[in-house]
Amino acid sequence: MKTLNKRIKRNIKNNLSFYLISTILTMLISAFIVAAASTGNTLTDLIQDYMKRLKVENAEFSTYKTIPDDEITRLEKEYDVLLEENSYKDIKEGEKTLRVFNNHTKVNLSETRDGIEPIGFLEVTITENYAKENGISVNDVYSFDGMEFIVTGYTTKGDYLFMLKDAGDMFRDNVNFGIINVTAETYDRIDAEEKTFYAVIYNRQDNELNFRKKVNADYIMKSYIAKESNPRISSPESEGEGVSGMAKKLSPILFIIVIALVVMVLGRMIRSEQTLLGTFMALGVTRSEIIRHYVIYGIIPGIAGSVLGLGLSVPFTKAFSAFYIENDYEKLIYETEYNIPACLVALILPSLLYVLTVLIVSRKLLKASAIELLNNTGKDTKTINILKERRIRTGLKLKVRSIVGHPGRSAVTVLGVMIASILLLLGFVMKTLMTDMVENGIKETIGYEYLYYLNYLGDMDTIPEGSEGASPVLTVYYEIPSSTNQVNIWGVDKSSEYFKMKTMDGEDVDLNGYYITNVASNVWKVKKGDTLTFYSIADLSEHSVEISGIIDDNMHTYMYTSIENASRLAGFDGVHYNAMVSGTSIPISADIVASTVVMSEHSALFEELMGPIDAVVYIIIVFGALLCIFIMYLVINMIVGESKTGISVMKVLGFSKKEIGSRVLDVNMILVIIGFLVGIPLTFKVAEVGFADTIEEFGIYFKAELNLRTAVGLLIGFVIIFIAYEISLLLQKRKIAKINMVEALKENRRNE
């Protein structure tokens, strides 16, 4: 056995391409699965720990009547909650807004880094991202709105990890929005409107409903936002879960398909040695000795790939974690955590599967007699009669039969290309879906450019001055049972020119009915004709409406109806509005406007938000392209390896390199095309799995469908696949050139 095992070193040398590529593939995919799972762990644990430490709210609400301090204490005891009145003041300079807090003590705490807490007048701690974007450092004096603030340190506030100005916003803006913590004296002396709300932590979740009913009964609930509906809190919480989810769903698929490919090529490599197996048997080497010898063939790429992969997963995890944490949120101090089950899977599974393959293949081969093995009768070749008596060039016949007559090899080739295509196209499809969303998502159904949220409830009989050409709307949020996404019901003036919408079935929207957006339909799994039940956030009253149709909007969880229906659902007497929409800017008084949304700016912000995701997609594209080249090389290498004798005979017969390439290698182009085409629908499926979480977490539905843009992405993908194929061929053509013509004669002499 010792002598027998000496050939392993030589086998590695002879099959260097296979060992190298299978080790690299195992390494990359092991590193990826460990890094994805570990990044998910790191994010989840970091955010959970952070939320707990800074006592982040479970919900925030406002009431029409103020809750007295002694009543807060009584409610805390009776309902086992932590309840604190939170307040802030917004100070503005140009487009910039600084939100001023005086440290809370029970809920939504802050922490200070790189400095000290403010103790003197106008001393502040400031959020670091805003500071960086505006060139502010600790100990600087920062002039804002006529005040000279002294920066004593950086701060992170528990409920502002994801820095949205309004909870209803989708996008953060670190340039124009920041937070400062000040002393009570400074806070009191800042001349700006104070906004107050109550922040609550439920120590017992089953008390939530009774608590809300009690507050509503005694103080009349004006608004209520559960943390799941507050993206400042839900976004970081769900990001860890999202990455973990992606790691759990996507990486096992990629892992299994890549490992499966190596397994298949390894199996074929062992099978190609059957003459040698027969020789060993004839020489009296026992079956178990032969199997033990070949097991090493599987262990080498398995262990080498896994160990290198684990090593590579360390920088990968650090990079992934840094990417998510440092791009999306206020600065957090963290250490990367490693997902032990993923490490074990990456360490053990490849070797286990490779060894199992060798065991299965060699045991199956060794069931044959030594004579059968020596005669090489178990080859993966079938006699194919197609085109037998057709008068076409033999080169073409050879190509067709080479594909059909070697079903195993063809299947591995198609599967390999399919896997490479999925890995490559995944990034392109994700990229095109996102670009499509940025460019069309927001504007798909929205015909207005300006949206003015008013700070009062208007009566339809009295439209505000300066709003000629604008349309009044009533937008009210409602809770959906067991969903973190709230539905925003838009009551629209039937005569408005901005809402001439059509359903996805092509029907005109009749605003007497209730129409939900496509993303809402997907989130709550309701279709036309179904009933959607929702609750008023204030008084928890239940409403049910029948869905009249679906509108093609993949970004907003909206329901459209008439302003009359919306007013009735909200329990108003008469018809009311709380916002105005218009195609152009209108000279409406700033005193009555709570906030303004310009849709084109919204798109730009969305594009900015997509920036980090964009980078992930580019990583996926590069990673996919790399794997694609390796897989293509592995497959082509397998074909050349299996065709060595044929190539050598062709050389002796006088075929040129080009003719040999055409007959032996170019034939695979059709398999490449088939593999690529099969890979397309699967890529869409995998992309859907990858984006599935965005529906529930962000209320955005990435519709994976073939359109002009995705078609361009697919075309680019095909070009890369084709280039990878050609590069592999080029490298293999050098290998073909090296195949010795004496090989064909050796076959003779071996049988002498």
Partner 1 sequence: MFIEGKNLVKKYGKGDATVWALNHADFQIGKGEIAVILGPSGSGKSTLLNILGGLDTADEGSITVDGEKLSDMSQKALEKYRRNDLGFVFQSYNLTPDLTALENVEMTAELTADPLNTAELMEKLGLGDHLHHFPKELSGGQQQRVAIARAMVKKPKLLLCDELTGALDSKSSKEVLQLIEQVNRDYGTTIVIITHNELIAGMADRVLRIKDGKVVSDTVNNAKIKAEEMEL
Q: Which is nearer to partner 1, 412 or 423 (CB)?
A: 412
Tell the burial category of 70 from Cβ atoms under 10 Å away from its Cβ (0-12, 13-18, 19+): exposed
Q: Which is nearer to partner 1, 282 or 737 (CB)?
A: 737
What's the min distance (Å) between Cβ of 286 and partner 1? 30
DSSP state of 751: T
What's the min distance (Å) between Cβ of 279 and partner 1? 16
CA atoms within 13 A on the CB side of 546: 4
Q: Which is nearer to partner 1, 33 or 640 (CB)?
A: 640
Q: Which is nearer to partner 1, 120 or 395 (CB)?
A: 395
Which amino acid does the sequence have at 451? L
Which amino acid does the sequence have at 701? Y
What's the min distance (Å) between Cβ of 668 and partner 1? 14
User: Could you give the CA distance from residue 92 to residue 82 in angstroms, rounded to a whole number?
Assistant: 32
Q: Which is nearer to partner 1, 383 or 495 (CB)?
A: 383
Task: Find the Cα–Cα–Cα–Cα dihedral 387, 390, 392, 397, rounded to 10°.
Answer: 20
Question: Which residue pairs from 460-467 have beta carbons closer than 8 angstroms and sit at least 24 positions apart in sequence?
Answer: 460/563, 460/574, 460/575, 460/576, 460/577, 464/580, 464/588, 464/589, 464/592, 465/588, 465/589, 466/586, 466/587, 466/588, 466/589, 467/580, 467/582, 467/586, 467/588
Q: Which is nearer to partner 1, 398 or 460 (CB)?
A: 398
What's the min distance (Å) between Cβ of 31 and partner 1? 41
Q: Which of 115, 160, 163 is nearest to 140 (CA)?
A: 115
Give the 3-state DSSP-derived string for 232-299, with helices as H, strands as E and coil as C: HHHHHHHHHHHHHHHHHHHHHHHHHHHHHHHHHHHHHHHHCCHHHHHHHHHCCCCHHHHHHHHHHHHH
What's the min distance (Å) between Cβ of 378 and partner 1? 13
For tokens 């759990």, name the residue: 248
Check: CB of residue 321 under 8 Å from CB of residue 42. yes
**376: CB partners within 8 A, 6+ apart:** 274, 275
For tokens 């869905």, name the residue: 547
Beta partners for 110? Answer: 157
What's the min distance (Å) between Cβ of 657 and partner 1? 8
CA distance readout (Å), 126 to 102, 117, 174, 350, 620: 12, 10, 12, 49, 36
Q: Which is nearer to partner 1, 519 or 739 (CB)?
A: 739
Q: Which is nearer to partner 1, 408 or 612 (CB)?
A: 408
What's the min distance (Å) between Cβ of 393 and partner 1? 7
Q: Which is nearer to partner 1, 622 or 737 (CB)?
A: 737
What's the min distance (Å) between Cβ of 384 and partner 1? 7
Q: What end-to-end distance do the CA atoms of the chain give, in Å?
A: 27
What's the min distance (Å) between Cβ of 373 and partner 1? 17
Q: Which is nearer to partner 1, 341 or 407 (CB)?
A: 407
What's the min distance (Å) between Cβ of 417 and partner 1? 21
What's the min distance (Å) between Cβ of 671 and partner 1? 15
Beta partners for 550? Answer: 516
What's the min distance (Å) between Cβ of 740 and partner 1? 8
What's the min distance (Å) between Cβ of 3 and partner 1? 21
φ, ψ (nearest 5 deg) of residue 389: -110, 20
CA distance readout (Å), 458 to 45, 62, 576: 46, 20, 5
Q: Which is nearer to partner 1, 209 or 386 (CB)?
A: 386
What's the min distance (Å) between Cβ of 27 and partner 1? 37
What's the min distance (Å) between Cβ of 646 and partner 1? 7
Q: Which is nearer to partner 1, 176 or 381 (CB)?
A: 381
Q: Which is nearer to partner 1, 292 or 397 (CB)?
A: 397
User: Could you give the CA distance from residue 631 to residue 672 in angstroms, rounded to a whole number?
Assistant: 12
Q: Which is nearer to partner 1, 311 or 395 (CB)?
A: 395
Check: CB of residue 429 under 8 Å from CB of residue 687. yes
User: Could you give the CA distance from residue 659 to residue 512 in angstroms, rounded to a whole number?
Assistant: 72
Q: Is the dihedral of CA 350, 352, 353, 354 positive or negative?
A: positive
φ, ψ (nearest 5 deg) of residue 105: -115, -20
Q: Which is nearer to partner 1, 389 or 573 (CB)?
A: 389
What's the min distance (Å) between Cβ of 341 and partner 1? 47
Token output for 585 = 């800017």
Check: CB of residue 113 under 8 Å from CB of residue 153. yes
Q: Is the dihedral of CA 452, 457, 461, 464 positive or negative?
A: negative
- Applying CB under 8 A, which residues contact partner 1? 381, 383-384, 388-389, 393-395, 397-398, 401-402, 405, 645-646, 649, 651-656, 659, 741-742, 744-745, 747-749, 751-752
Q: Which is nearer to partner 1, 139 or 748 (CB)?
A: 748
Q: Which is nearer to partner 1, 394 or 584 (CB)?
A: 394
What's the min distance (Å) between Cβ of 392 and partner 1? 10
Token output for 525 = 């799994």
Check: CB of residue 187 under 8 Å from CB of residue 104. no
CA distance readout (Å), 507 to 518, 551, 552: 15, 10, 12
Tell the burial category of 383 from Cβ atoms under 10 Å away from its Cβ (0-12, 13-18, 19+): exposed
